Structure 1
Amino acid sequence: MQWQAIGCSEIGSGHIKTGIPCQDFCGHQIISNNQVTIGAVSDGMGSAAHSDLGAKIAVQTTLNCLNQRDWLNNSINESQAQAFFDELLETVVKEIQTVAKKEGYSVRDMACTLLAFIATPNWLVAMQCGDGLIVIRPQSSQNYQLIFQPQKGEYANEYVPITSASADQYMQVKVIAEPIDFICAATDGIEHISLIKSKQWKAYDKFFEPVETQIMRSHKTEAEKKNIVSDWLKSDDINQRTDDDKTVLLCIQNSQNHNSSSGPIQSSNIQLNPSPSPSAISQSPSTSRDPIESLEDDSLNSQPSYNIQPEFDKIKEDIYKFTQNQYHNIDIKLSFKKRILTISVISDQKVDQKNFIDLLRRIDFNDYELPIKEVNINHRGNRNHQYWQYKFSLDSIQPWVNKMLYIILIVILMTLISLLISILSNGLLMQILMYIVYSLILIISVDIYVNQSR
């Protein structure tokens, strides 16, 4: 059995508009007489100025490390794999630090993810740090399996890059002790069209099956296969679904055990539509196959009217810009809910609360395309213990002014009601009734005030 592989990275439409280079990178090598394939994929953090360089260094260094062992004649267990990838991660980060120092960059400006794998005829071992996906199809199955759940960190749209001090705590490692016929390692640019979020990020068979059968197992040459994938990733159909960079690394192990439900593969039946549909690769009319479709996931249609991630990138870039002279080794995590922007400052070093708040107040949060009414800031360590917390409002009227006005209004209202009771209540029964109404109004007012204060 022998391996075949192609890798392809294409810039996202959003990066084309803003003049940002493609921040994805991938690479692979087929070694040991085509019996073993090693691969790596990296996605540079959008807010990091030189993350494209960081991603390239991460992949190249990983491949160099993976190519130093004889995987064909040696097996590996979970604990050995964990120890190996711990060492590999440390090596990659040291190389990034070396280049950053040489070029005069901040290590944070080269932040990126990393996915890596080694596949032999009989087993596969993989690691993932950050978001992205690795999907496989074991030789014993016709179903596609996601190895690791998407890693987003503590907050939505966030992940822990390999340059973070806590990266080793988030790295995932797995050994699969059976032959694998198909591998797809990819960045999160294709996440929403290849995984079903509503089913706990299940691999979408109708996406991966045509990729394997119609492309990788066709009789096309390696260059032709790569061109097909490249054209598809650049297509308007894909760019309408995601404006992020897209990278896929596809590998197959030549085997007679793969039986496609669509019948044998004939290369003459594979052609590219002039205007790619959800299936950029389609069959000729004489042969019908299931196309690469969009996901049947209602969550994709429930996005807010504003795009959070680009604004998060802008906010983080501004925060780093104003704080980097005094605080070099901090991570920023953002979340946005009910018009409240939460900024988590994560580091083991001391961050002075007053000084940091003064630096953040130089940022005009009204300039971003998010309806922010309040900013919460908290400083905590990598071990998740809290140091300090602070919040301020962006409303034109400060919260304490709103509260005072509310109290004054309640006092006036209750005074008027008291006067009304004294005028209208001639009998004991009427007095009791009026005071019950008075008490109810007071209780409701206090309850509203308490809820506003939370």
Structure 2
Amino acid sequence: MDRALTGEWRVRGVSVRGYRHVRDGKPCQDAHGHSVTGPPDDRVTVLAVADGAGSRRLSDKGSALAVRLATGRFGRLCAGRSEERDVRGLLFEGLEDVRRSFLTETGAAAADHATTLTVVVLTRAWLGYLTVGDGFAVLRAGDEGGERQFHLLPQADAVSEYGNETVFLSSNDATAKARAECVRDPGVDGMFLSTDGLAQAALTRASGASQRPNSSFATGMLRSLDAARADLDEDDRKLTTYLSSDQLTRLNGDDKTVLRAVRL
């Protein structure tokens, strides 16, 4: 079977507390996770990252809950659906399922659990992407002049002109503000998802107000996972140190999460 059409992915993720939360003695309010379901020839891998609202007292629990629900619900919903044509409809169905469970489990305290959520579903034939809030995902696919190419998946529309405002999974307009896309490109062989704490490092401004991936950052994120004999635990330790470094803290003092995946 063509390597680009197999369902096997190497997945690793790291979340670290930002400087402000270390200083104030608060927990990391980011979360990440993944799940793998289905038979070897039709695997479904779900990746999810979430960023709890810094001003909400239970947002660390909200982000963890959102990731747990997303990896479980999207995995079951998409299993056996690699030939699905209406992927965007399937993704919104999954979002509604996750929101119902999230609101049920948090009850009257839903607003205190406020969190963003970004999900990528990887199947044999397509990649599905859904984001609520300001998380983002970068794909690696193809090359140009020997240089690997990175592509920023479309982000949700800004809530307002102010950069520190976003929409949350518990928001009444979460579904209306969410962005869902489908990619059918067998050349996709790597990606990473992140919360907005890494936006200044991972993305650069192109013409106008648009953004594009920082190729240097993206290359560094995926290079070690590509190595067949990579020491993944040591790689996680190095990545944790890097995400906590003064270099990145000067760009953004928020919590930072990166969830990486490469095809085997």
Q: Which residue of structure 1 lines up, in the alignment, with residue 167 of structure 2? A: 160
The residue number in structure 1 matching 2:60 is: 52
Specify the code of the residue in structure 2 equivalent to 1:46.
Answer: G
Q: Pairwise mapping of residues 414-453 of structure 1 onto structure 2 (< 5 A)?
A: none
The answer to whether 1:203 aligns with 2:210 is: no
> Equivalent residue of 1:40, what SS?
strand
- Superimposed CA distance per residue, residues 158-186 of structure 1 (whole angstroms, 9 cap, x where no aligned partner): 11111111111111111111121111100
1:111 to 102, 114, 117: 114
Using a 3 Å threshold, how does the CA distance of structure 1 residues 125 and 202 change in structure 2: closer, same or farther?
same
Alignment partner of 2:40 out of 17, 33, 36: 33
**Higher RCO (CA-CA < 8 Å; seq separation 6+):** 2
Counterpart of 1:172, as a letter, is: R
* Aligned pairs (5 A) from 1:76-225: 76-77=84-85, 80-101=86-107, 106-139=109-142, 142-149=148-155, 151-156=157-162, 157-179=164-186, 180-199=188-207, 200-213=210-223, 215-218=224-227, 219-225=229-235
Report the alpha carbon displacement of residue 73 of structure 1 after superposing the two structures with TM: 5.9
Please say if residues 184 and 251 of structure 1, whose CA atoms lie closer than 8 Å, have aligned partners that are also in contact. Answer: yes
RMSD: 2.0
Q: For the structure 1 residues 250 and 201, does the alpha-carbon distance in structure 2 shift closer, same or farther, using more than 3 Å as the test?
A: same
Cα distance, 1:140 vs. partner? 6.1
- d(CA) in 2 for partners of 1:5 and 1:71? 18
Q: Distance in 1 between matches of 2:251 and 2:102?
A: 32
Do residues 252 (structure 1) and 258 (structure 2) align? Answer: no
Change (3 A) 1:150 1:236: farther
* TM-score, normalised via structure 1 length: 0.52
Is the Cα–Cα contact under 8 Å of residues 8 and 249 in structure 1 kept in the other structure?
A: yes
Q: Which runs of 5+ in 1 are unaligned?
A: 255-454
Indicate conservation of the 8 Å contact 1:10/1:245, yes or no: yes
Cα deviation for residue 27 of structure 1 reads 0.3
**8 Å contact kept, 1:149–1:201:** no
User: Counterparts of 1:144 and 1:27 in 2: how far apart (Å)?
Assistant: 22
| Deviation string, structure 1 residues 12-36 (Cα, Å, up to 9, x no partner) | 0111112221110010123443844
Cα 1:59/1:139, change in 2 over 3 Å: same
Of 219, 223, 248 in structure 2, the residue corresponding to residue 238 of structure 1 is 248
Contact 1:48 1:108 in 2 (8 A): yes
1:350-361 → structure 2 map (5 Å cutoff): none
Q: 1:194-249: per-residue Cα shift (whole Å, max 9, x none)?
A: 11134411111111112222x21123132222222112112222222211000000
Task: Report the AA paired with residue 20 of structure 1.
Answer: K
Q: Give the letter for the 2:140 counterpart.
A: R
Q: Confirm or deny: 8 A CA contact 1:3 1:30 kept in the other structure.
A: no
Q: Decide whether aligned partners of structure 1 residues 151 and 16 sit closer, same or farther in structure 2, where only a CA change above 3 A counts.
A: farther
The alignment partner of 2:137 has SS state of strand
The question of whether the paired residues in 2 share the 8 Å contact of 1:3 and 1:36 is answered with: no
- Quote how far apart the aligned CAs of 1:96 are: 2.5
How far, CA to CA, are the matches of 2:191 and 2:83 in structure 1? 19
Q: Which protein is richer in strand relative to its size? A: 2
TM-score, normalised via structure 2 length: 0.86
Q: Which amino acid aligns with 1:185?
A: L
Q: Percent identity?
A: 27
Number of paired residues? 248
> Quick check: 2:13–2:32 contact (8 Å CA) kept in 1?
yes
Equivalent position amino acid for 2:30 in 1: D
Check 1:71–1:140 CA distance in 2 against 1; reply closer, same or farther (3 A cut).
farther
